[in-house]
Amino acid sequence: MIKELSVLSDLHLPHANLAKIRLKIEVEESELILFAGDVLDAFDEKLLQEFLQTFADLPQPKLLVLGNHDLWQDKPHTDALYEDYLQFPWQEYGFHLLDKEPIIFGNTAFCGNMGWYDYSLRLTHDFDWPVIACDELLRWETMNNDEIRNLLQTAATKSFKDLNESDFARKILLVQNNGRWESLHWYDRLYINWGKSDQEMTAYFLHRLEEQLQETRGLEQVVVLHHAPILPRLAAEGVLDAYLSAFNGSKRFWDLICQYDVKTVIHGHLHRKAVFTWKNVRVYSCYGLMDTIRI
Ligand SMILES: [Mn+2]
């Protein structure tokens, strides 16, 4: 029976010290090691090998889900890369990719995948900053100063609180904050391309999770996601915070989780450590190496 977990998330390699992390995990002597996505800052085969080799000889089972950054590429064919990850020989390094299939230890089943976002978890607010949200912004990287100036003078503005789903789908926005225009970005726009909408991708990962939950029904189920199914806080602290919250995850995962006998949910992506209980489910929002989790 697995009870004590070492949980890590959002290492964004190379921006983490693997040797130090390994040492801390060795000292913890937990029964299982879990990575909740964004091991890499962008796809890099060498870094992935380095990561796997760092932990390969530790005796515990090692589970992971992928994160959006693990799929970042310059010329993104995200569905092909995701498929490559599913086919990768993780077991040679003692790893198990939950995105591919659940895993059972005694009467505990670990189910999960990276999840996705559909803007449904954006923080409710009535901020009325003026914003420009239009398709011209999709050319942002190649726009020159004259074009940007022209856009600022001619484009229609609306209020931040009136942003709709297609505005968030662009993943770029101009906002007037304290009298100055600034651009807000969700960079999956440049490095992720599924060839499908975020709503469709959310539905896809939701369906895959549901299959796993059905398959392991009757066992104690632990759900691991990268993107959040619920938020640990209620208020946006500013314009950037309010905008980025659209890409946190999706409420639909929480609705699904509540239909099953899930007692523990572990996710990453928010870069915020938080632990709370909601509707009898213990939720761990992970960032970096967490204190040992007891399930
Ligand atoms: Mn992420």
What separation in Å is there between the alpha carbon of 199 and the centre of ligand 1? 17
* Cβ(30)–Cβ(4) below 8 Å: yes
The model's pLDDT over 70-119, given as tens digits with 9 standing for 90+, comes to 999 999 999 999 999 999 999 999 999 999 999 999 999 999 999 999 99
What separation in Å is there between the alpha carbon of 282 and the centre of ligand 1? 21
Question: Which DSSP state fits 136?
Answer: G
| Sequence-ordered list of residues with C-beta below 8 angstroms from that of 184, at least 6 positions apart, any chain | 172, 173, 174, 175, 239, 240, 243, 244
SS3 category, 130: strand
Which residues surround the ion ligand 1 when the cut-off is CB under 5 Å?
A: 38, 67-68, 269
Structural Rg of the chain based on CA atoms: 20
Name the least confident of 39-53, 116-130, 151-165, 277-291: 116-130
DSSP 72-101: --SS--HHHHHHHHHHS-GGGGTEEETTT-
- 63 sits in which H/E element: strand 62-64
SS3 category, 240: helix
What separation in Å is there between the alpha carbon of 286 and the centre of ligand 1? 11
Residue 175's CB is within 10 A of a number of other CB atoms, namely: 21
Residue 17's CB is within 10 A of a number of other CB atoms, namely: 12
What pLDDT does 234 receive?
A: 64
What separation in Å is there between the alpha carbon of 227 and the centre of ligand 1? 7
What pLDDT does 239 receive?
A: 86
The model's pLDDT over 211-266, given as tens digits with 9 standing for 90+, comes to 999 999 999 999 999 999 999 876 677 888 899 999 999 999 999 999 998 999 99
Above 70 in pLDDT, residue 26? yes
What pLDDT does 98 receive?
A: 98
What pLDDT does 177 receive?
A: 86
- What's the rounded Cα separation, in Å, for the pair 252 and 115? 10
SS3 category, 142: helix
The model's pLDDT over 41-82, given as tens digits with 9 standing for 90+, comes to 999 999 999 999 999 999 999 999 999 999 999 999 999 999
Ranges of each domain in the chain: 4-120+195-294, 130-191
Task: Confirm whether pTM is higher than 0.85.
Answer: yes
What pLDDT does 179 receive?
A: 87
Q: Which two three-digit tokens encode residue 257?
A: 């989780």
What pLDDT does 237 receive?
A: 75
* Cβ(10)–Cβ(269) below 8 Å: yes
What separation in Å is there between the alpha carbon of 166 and the centre of ligand 1? 21
What separation in Å is there between the alpha carbon of 155 and the centre of ligand 1? 32
- 17 sits in which H/E element: none
What separation in Å is there between the alpha carbon of 42 and the centre of ligand 1? 11
The label of the residue with tokens 């450590």 reads 273
What separation in Å is there between the alpha carbon of 249 and the centre of ligand 1? 10
What separation in Å is there between the alpha carbon of 226 and the centre of ligand 1? 7
Mean pLDDT of the chain: 95
- Looking at domain 4-120+195-294, its CATH architecture is 4-Layer Sandwich (3.60)
What separation in Å is there between the alpha carbon of 84 and the centre of ligand 1? 19
